[in-house]
Amino acid sequence: SQTIHQWPATLVQPVGSPLSLECTVEGTSNPNLYWYRQAAGRGLQLLFYSVGIGQISSEVPQNLSASRPQDRQFILSSKKLLLSDSGFYLCAWSRGPGVNNEQFFGPGTRLTVL
Amino acid sequence: DQQVKQNSPSLSVQEGRISILNCDYTNSMFDYFLWYKKYPAEGPTFLISISSIKDKNEDGRFTVFLNKSAKHLSLHIVPSQPGDSAVYFCAARQGGSEKLVFGKGTKLTVNP
């Protein structure tokens, strides 16, 4: 069976500090990978997605970046965090490419920027 | 531009009754729709989906209805249970895309 891991579960960082969130998927190969953010009282906002190693599509201009150094590893980074970066960050995967592929989410990382 | 809208931020029902969660969309190119359930501090869990070639899909207590002409879908939960209390997200995918577009969610509370 497939599993998706995210760490850390919670993170408190000062404004201006760097960020690195990691996501890994087990039990599948060549998945599509996604980073979402859920801000307080908001829905799920797609930040980045990747259909293969080194292939990153950015959905929202911001001070965040993503990388996919390995097939089942997806990393979300920032060089300098802003207060507005606070939120609940979710990684997801889907079988791809293909039709009618639902996305499966990880447990999330709660980021608080102070 | 919000392409997937869940206009009710919250819904409260009694245990054993029916819960109906609604979702509207604006993009006629959407061809696949999904419902997710999310507990606080956890990732969303996939519940049920429906393709645009169907108008109903059922899985146990959960049924999703799709009305393409009205660009509307709904999730019915019968009977509702206290463990169903969560935030429910509607999502849609445009044919050929690898992305999902999510609504803002509806918080369902099932009272014992």
Q: Give the pLDDT of residue A60.
A: 82
CA nearest neighbour of B84 among B101, B61, B64, B65: B61
CA distance A100 to chain B (A): 7
SS3 B83: helix
- The model's pLDDT over B29-60, given as tens digits with 9 standing for 90+, comes to 999 999 999 998 899 999 999 999 999 999 99
A107 shares contact with chain B (CB less than 8 Å): yes
Q: Give the pLDDT of residue A61.
A: 67
B45 shares contact with chain A (CB less than 8 Å): yes
Q: How many CA atoms lie within 13 A of B30 on its CB side?
A: 27
In this prediction, residue A9 has a pLDDT band, given cuts at 50, 70 and 90, of very high
Q: Which of A44, A96, A108 sits opposite B89 (nearest CB)?
A: A44
- CB neighbourhood size of B64 (10 A): 24
Name the more confident of B61 and A98: B61
Tell the burial category of B3 from Cβ atoms under 10 Å away from its Cβ (0-12, 13-18, 19+).
Answer: middle
**Angle CA B74–B79–B84, to nearest 5:** 75
- The model's pLDDT over A55-80, given as tens digits with 9 standing for 90+, comes to 999 988 678 999 999 999 999 999 99
Name the more confident of B29 and A99: B29
DSSP state of B17: S
Contact between B25 and B67 under an 8 Å Cβ cutoff? The reply is no
Contact residues, chain B, for A110 at CB < 8 Å: 41
Does residue A98 have a pLDDT over 80? no
